[in-house]
Amino acid sequence: MILSGKARLAGVLGWPVGHSRSPRLHGYWLDRLGIDGAYVPLPVRPEDFASVFRALPKMGFAGANVTVPHKEQALILADEVEPLAKRIGAVNTLVVREDGSILGLNTDAFGFMQNLLETHPASLGTLNRPAVVLGAGGAARAVIAALVDAGVPEIRLVNRSLERAEKLAADIGGPIRVQQWDRLDLAGAGLLVNTTSLGMSGQPPLDIDLSALPQDAVVNDIVYVPLLTDLLLRAQARGNPVVDGLGMLLWQAVRGFSLWFGQQPEVTADLRDFVLKS
């Protein structure tokens, strides 16, 4: 690692943040590209977030990623927010500009779609059929915005809280049809995406019946611990192409890194292996 008194600085703001793989990810790129810079974990309690946010330019940071639970507060605090981040209702990337103002971005939608298409290029053909999205949290908002912008003709949004799902549909707009959890409709779908924490290590399993899902439909779980969730294993066993969640993490990081450090990084198989070893 190259680190001098002129090093460019970035990091990840979250609470907790010790589990984040972003420092390892960005550290890999910094090392491979020979950049004089550092990317550090920044554990910030919710009550301290506003003061830390405002201190970033004074501390010489080029920017930062924002993770749970700060994404919505970052949207409010940023001096300027890109339109996509406004639609999604959350900011996950901050860029400190030369005048000290802070620009808020959301790169999760790009990360989701790029992961899908890079893993299975043929996925593009399934996007002309209905997509089913499980969950209505922050990740679901980014996924659905990406699907709307990709021209998916129908998005079936399935969530236990109909009120939350209906608010998401109203905020994002587009061909979104809200469904109750116990009325999951997979018939004719080209894509199934799990954006909930169900199936993540330490969380309850995602118990849904896949029998009505077409066998050529792509199944994506944004969870990446474990890398192959029970949902993906069951889908794989019945012949569906599957996409794990690690690629979304890697691809969403590309834009922030290039803006902070001035070089365009690559998402490679070696990078995936390196991040998985953390």
Residue range(s) defining the domain that contains residue 86: 8-106+247-277
How many structural domains are present in the chain? Answer: 2
Residue 114 included in any domain:
no
Q: Are 193 and 235 in a shared domain?
A: yes
Q: Provide the pLDDT for residue 3.
A: 85
Q: Are 261 and 170 in a shared domain?
A: no
The answer to the question of whether 4 is labelled as a binding residue is no
The answer to the question of whether 221 is labelled as a binding residue is no
The answer to the question of whether 28 is labelled as a binding residue is no
Q: In tens digits, what is the pLDDT along the chain, a chain of 278 residues?
A: 678 889 999 999 999 999 899 999 999 999 999 999 999 999 999 999 999 999 999 999 999 999 989 999 999 999 999 999 999 999 999 999 999 999 999 999 999 999 999 999 988 888 999 999 999 998 999 999 999 999 999 999 999 999 999 999 999 999 999 999 999 999 999 999 999 999 998 899 999 999 999 999 999 999 988 999 999 999 999 999 999 999 999 999 999 999 999 999 999 999 999 999 86
Q: Are 25 and 90 in a shared domain?
A: yes
142: CATH: 3.40.50.720
Residue 100 included in any domain:
yes
Residue 166 included in any domain:
yes
Predicted TM-score (pTM) of this structure: 0.94
Residue 113 included in any domain:
no
Q: Provide the pLDDT for residue 124.
A: 85
Residue ranges with strand state E in the chain: 8-14, 37-43, 61-66, 80-81, 93-96, 102-105, 131-134, 155-159, 176-180, 191-194, 218-221, 242-243
Q: Provide the pLDDT for residue 267.
A: 97
The answer to the question of whether 197 is labelled as a binding residue is no
Q: Are 173 and 253 in a shared domain?
A: no
Task: Pick the catalytic residue from 6, 58, 71, 86.
Answer: 71
Q: Are 234 and 253 in a shared domain?
A: no
Helix, strand, or coil here: 11? strand
Q: Are 233 and 256 in a shared domain?
A: no
The answer to the question of whether 174 is labelled as a binding residue is no
Q: Provide the pLDDT for residue 123.
A: 84
Residue 86 included in any domain:
yes
C-alpha pair distances (Å), 237 with each of 5, 124, 197, 225, 246: 53, 22, 22, 19, 20
Residue 86 annotated in active site = no
Q: Are 257 and 178 in a shared domain?
A: no
Residue 171 included in any domain:
yes
The answer to the question of whether 39 is labelled as a binding residue is no
What is the chain's mean pLDDT, rounded? 95
